[in-house]
Structure 1
Amino acid sequence: MSGVMHNVDQRTQMVGQNRLEMLLFRLASKQVYGINVFKVKEVLPCPRLTSMPKSKAVVRGVSHIRGGTTPILDLGLAIGLKPLEKVEEAFVIVTEYNGKTQGFLVNSVDRIVNMKWEDILPPPKGSGHAHYLTAVTRLDEQLVEIIDVEKILAEVSPVNEEVGAGVITDEARAAAVSLKVLICDDSRIARKQIERCVQQIGIETVTLEDGKQAWDHLQAMLSEGKDPLQEYAMLISDIEMPEMDGYTLTTRVRDDPQLRGLHIILHTSLSGVFNQNMVRKVGADEFQAKFHPDELAQKVIDRILSMGGIVPALEE
């Protein structure tokens, strides 16, 4: 397994080129799943687990890993499959999301593959909202499903979505009048969290599901003679998204003379110095780790106050 994870740090250098590397794994069947290597800290045979009283069934226990206590989640059970039976033969993918470390119990781990984000597509239309997928792709004539980990974590340990008392001032609410924010995230849960945060300030939102949709939306506005900089106070975008990631979206916006002034916050569950360096490299205005409603709200408020709240909404 050490061979699978060897030189993961070097592999993340492709971020910003609309590429990623996925760690492929299986749960209780032949179906293949994928997770971005950049979120994987390590992969190891399932360690000894200690049960946690009154915890949800999906939390199979906790384990002492590298000096810390890490919760271990049964990933199959979390997405509606049967619980993993032979735990002693399973593997744990230790990940970091939103600054928190957790392990996902899986049946087997396969390999790391190099992919283009443009080859990774949203779930099929008509699949509803009950599924746990953010994207799908094909590899070696087989469907690979990418799980919405943020949805799982929100169900296991819900986050507070309310902006704290005193963060949103009367001045901020007054400045928010007639402003809009464009939100772009492939996770439905994440979109709802951001939308709720921004709307608490009093700002109207428009939500899209990936970078390509956002880019096409902005280009369509320009072709219709509209000015996105007059309609939107900012763009809040995820980084990891099918078809076009947030880094590529930001780069394209900055390369377009009509769009380059758009204020961009990259809002992501990715963390670390490398990611913040990439944010600066592609020209985003700010970086915000998910999900801290007070911090995100404050960034939005600072932006609208700097504008004076005078950007008019376009006529419907």
Structure 2
Amino acid sequence: MTSILDGVDLRTQLAGANRLELLLFRLSGKQLFGINVFKVQEVIQCPPLTKIPKANPVVRGIANMRGKTISVMDLSMAIGSVPLDDIDNRFVIVTEYNCNTQGFMVGSVDRIINMNWEDIKPPPKGAAASSYMTAVTQVDKELVEIIDVEKVMSEVLGASELIDSQSLLEGLDSSKQHILVVDDSVVARHQVTSVLDQLGVTYTECRNGREALDQLRLWASEGRDLLPWLALVISDIEMPSMDGYSLTSAIRKEPGMESLYVILHSSLSGVFNESMTSKVGANQFLPKYEPNVLAKAVSDRLRVHQQEHGLDD
């Protein structure tokens, strides 16, 4: 099954072209799900698992892989469905999210498909908040659900959202500054805005790059002087309709927005993504999710923005 990922390095050329490749899989039923190949290290037959006492029931055990111990989560259980049975005949998708390696147990693996982000749509309004869908698409007339992995990991593993705000707030006046937050994951947006709330800065949220670009153009059409007011844009990379790379490229070509400060904040960690950040013109790349790292990057930018535009007078 590892052969399904042969040549994965060649797929990196899709990034920045608003394209992606999805690994399609099924859990306990007929529903088809997808995950970005960029986050997948390998796909293997489920190895022997060692149970962990008092662990979250979703974690079916740990496995030793290539000298590294990883947790294996039952993705069917994680999204509220029935546990996978006959685990010896199931598969594990080994992924890297938020700078951590973990395995997701799935029922079966289908194939890899090449798609345009414009064909990946947000879930129906009202569905994302109560479900584990972050996007949907169609393949051969079959609905494919893309799972909000940030939500799964937050619920299973937990994540601190508190920051060392006292030191970060010294000398900072955020009252005249604003931030645009762009992420298709409800949980990821909440993690970012929790940090911003603690820093006392106002923000606007968008679910994908297309919404964000439309919002920026709306502000400009209303006569708002963006540069003194909008301190930065914090954007995810993976998003339906328009990804973060394409959003950044579009901002750099938009009259009056060329010098907006853009942070790409993504679970797509790795050297390649830092290189792509520079290629598309973003100012900074931050891997998800370290609240203090994000808070420091934001507070540092707010201070510079404050000085550049005389907002501390």
- What TM-score do you get using the length of structure 1 for normalisation? 0.95
Q: Does 1:262 align with 2:256?
A: no
Report the 3-state secondary structure (helix = DSSP H, G, I; strand = E; otherwise coil) of the residue aligned with 1:168: helix
Residues 16 and 278, structure 1, Cα contact 8 Å, conserved in 2: yes
Residue 54 of structure 1 corresponds to: 54
Residue 70 of structure 2 corresponds to: 70
Measured after TM superposition, the shift of residue 307 of structure 1 is 2.3
The 2-side partners of 1:226 and 1:169 are apart by: 27
CA offsets, 1:169-227, max 9 Å, x none? 3312xx21211111000000110110010121111111111110000111112222223
Residue 220 of structure 2 corresponds to: 222
Residue 307 of structure 1 corresponds to: 305
Residue 272 of structure 2 corresponds to: 274
1:135 maps to a residue whose letter is A
For residues 149-228 of structure 1, the aligned pairs below 5 Å read 149-164=149-164, 166-172=166-172, 175-228=173-226
Structure 1 residue ranges, 4+ long, deviating more than 6 angstroms after superposition: none
Measured after TM superposition, the shift of residue 289 of structure 1 is 0.8
Identical aligned residues as a percent: 49
Residue 24 of structure 1 corresponds to: 24
The 2-side partners of 1:245 and 1:295 are apart by: 23
Q: Give the superposed CA RMSD.
A: 1.4
Residues 73 and 105, structure 1, Cα contact 8 Å, conserved in 2: yes
Measured after TM superposition, the shift of residue 311 of structure 1 is 5.1
CA offsets, 1:272-312, max 9 Å, x none? 11110000000001111111111111111111111236759
Q: Does 1:115 align with 2:118?
A: no
Report the 3-state secondary structure (helix = DSSP H, G, I; strand = E; otherwise coil) of the residue aligned with 1:121: coil
Measured after TM superposition, the shift of residue 165 of structure 1 is 5.2
> For the structure 1 residues 124 and 224, does the alpha-carbon distance in structure 2 shift closer, same or farther, using more than 3 Å as the test?
same
Report the 3-state secondary structure (helix = DSSP H, G, I; strand = E; otherwise coil) of the residue aligned with 2:171: helix
2:300 maps to a residue whose letter is D
The 2-side partners of 1:222 and 1:308 are apart by: 21
> For the structure 1 residues 128 and 185, does the alpha-carbon distance in structure 2 shift closer, same or farther, using more than 3 Å as the test?
closer
The 2-side partners of 1:116 and 1:167 are apart by: 43
Report the 3-state secondary structure (helix = DSSP H, G, I; strand = E; otherwise coil) of the residue aligned with 2:30: coil
The 2-side partners of 1:86 and 1:164 are apart by: 46
Measured after TM superposition, the shift of residue 257 of structure 1 is 2.6
CA offsets, 1:23-75, max 9 Å, x none? 00000111100000000000000000000000011000000011111100000
Report the 3-state secondary structure (helix = DSSP H, G, I; strand = E; otherwise coil) of the residue aligned with 1:308: helix
The 1-side partners of 2:84 and 2:287 are apart by: 32
Measured after TM superposition, the shift of residue 166 of structure 1 is 4.2
Residues 268 and 288, structure 1, Cα contact 8 Å, conserved in 2: yes
Counterpart pick for 1:290 among 288, 292, 295: 288
Residues 179 and 312, structure 1, Cα contact 8 Å, conserved in 2: no
Residues 23 and 110, structure 1, Cα contact 8 Å, conserved in 2: yes
Report the 3-state secondary structure (helix = DSSP H, G, I; strand = E; otherwise coil) of the residue aligned with 2:275: helix
Residue 40 of structure 2 corresponds to: 40
Residue 144 of structure 1 corresponds to: 144
CA offsets, 1:234-289, max 9 Å, x none? 00000000000000000000011311111000000011111100000000011111
The 2-side partners of 1:119 and 1:39 are apart by: 19
Total equivalences in the alignment:
311
Report the 3-state secondary structure (helix = DSSP H, G, I; strand = E; otherwise coil) of the residue aligned with 1:167: helix
1:269 maps to a residue whose letter is S
The 2-side partners of 1:17 and 1:250 are apart by: 12
Measured after TM superposition, the shift of residue 157 of structure 1 is 1.1
Residues 98 and 269, structure 2, Cα contact 8 Å, conserved in 1: yes
Measured after TM superposition, the shift of residue 122 of structure 1 is 0.4
Residues 60 and 72, structure 1, Cα contact 8 Å, conserved in 2: yes
Residues 58 and 74, structure 1, Cα contact 8 Å, conserved in 2: yes
1:229 maps to a residue whose letter is L
